[in-house]
Amino acid sequence: MVLKYESKEDGEEYKIDDTSQRILEKLTRGERVATEMQEYVDVNTNRPIHYRVDQYLEPAGLVTIVEKRTLADEQREANVYALTKEGKKFVNQHRFNINSSEVNQLREDITRVNTTIRGIQESVETLSERVDNNPTHDDINERIQELQDTEDEQTKSHRRETEQEFDDIQTQLTEIVNKVDHVESKLEQQDDRIDQLQGRIKKLEDRSVRDFLPF
């Protein structure tokens, strides 16, 4: 909120914006150089502070330079600012309006905090739902046991099937061996038969030869 102030010195009207109001509020706590007011005024450099003091607050007679001070981290001297009598009077007359900017900032901070809290609460609720929907330790152990039982039954069934297949193969091998033995026996019989036939052929040949001998 921009306030207006009519200077007692030159009668001109000056606009006192939020940054200028924060400078005035900070100076109610004592003399300050610009660097010491940066964080409170919410600026990153001294330039906005110097500009408002030089262009508005000092010409309006609300702020004055009481001395120059050499700071340890600065090579040049810095102005030390303080409220004038009119500056203190202005702050007292408009304290509610001046503080309103700070109050608004606090309200914004509170809103951000509440938003963060709601986000955390929603995250907690989501996690709680996930925990509720997830199986417990006992449920997991029970499921593992079921899988093990199922696996054991499947393993037993597979073993029985394998044993049956092995028995079938053994039976087939036995049948094959028996057939081989039978074939070998037949071959031996055929060999004997061949030997007999060859013997008879030999006898017939011998008789034929004798029939042609001259005696």
| pLDDT (0 to 100) of residue 85 | 92
Kindly state whether residue 63 falls inside one of the protein's structural domains. Answer: yes
Kindly state whether residue 178 falls inside one of the protein's structural domains. Answer: no
Amino acid code (one letter) for 82? A
Residues 6+ apart with CB under 8 A from 71: 33, 35, 78
CATH number, position 59: 1.10.10.10
Residues 6+ apart with CB under 8 A from 206: none
Kindly state whether residue 41 falls inside one of the protein's structural domains. Answer: yes
Mean per-residue pLDDT, 27-35 = 89
pTM: 0.45
SS (H, E, C) the chain: CCEEEECCCCCCEEEECHHHHHHHHHHCCCCEEHHHHHHHHCCCCCHHHHHHHHHHHCCCCCEEEEEEEECCCCCCEEEEEEECHHHHHHHHHCHHHHHHHHHHHHHHHHHHHHHHHHHHHHHHHHHHHHHHHCCCHHHHHHHHHHHHHHHHHHHHHHHHHHHHHHHHHHHHHHHHHHHHHHHHHHHHHHHHHHHHHHHHHHHHHHHHHHHCCCC
Ranking 26-35, 101-110, 116-125, 165-174 by mean pLDDT, the lowest is: 101-110
Residues 6+ apart with CB under 8 A from 2: 15, 16, 17, 18
Kindly state whether residue 83 falls inside one of the protein's structural domains. Answer: yes
| pLDDT (0 to 100) of residue 42 | 85
| pLDDT (0 to 100) of residue 54 | 92
- Residue 13 sits in which domain range? 3-97
The predicted-structure confidence for 42-99, as pLDDT tens digits, reads as follows 899 999 999 999 999 999 999 999 998 887 766 778 889 999 999 999 988 877 555 5
- Judge whether residue 133 has pLDDT over 80: no
Could you give the number of structural domains in the chain?
1
Mean per-residue pLDDT, 14-43 = 88
Ranking 40-44, 108-112, 206-210 by mean pLDDT, the lowest is: 206-210
Kindly state whether residue 8 falls inside one of the protein's structural domains. Answer: yes
Kindly state whether residue 29 falls inside one of the protein's structural domains. Answer: yes
| pLDDT (0 to 100) of residue 122 | 74
Kindly state whether residue 40 falls inside one of the protein's structural domains. Answer: yes
Which residue is associated with the tokens 């606009």?
15
Kindly state whether residue 25 falls inside one of the protein's structural domains. Answer: yes
CA 76 to chain centre: 50
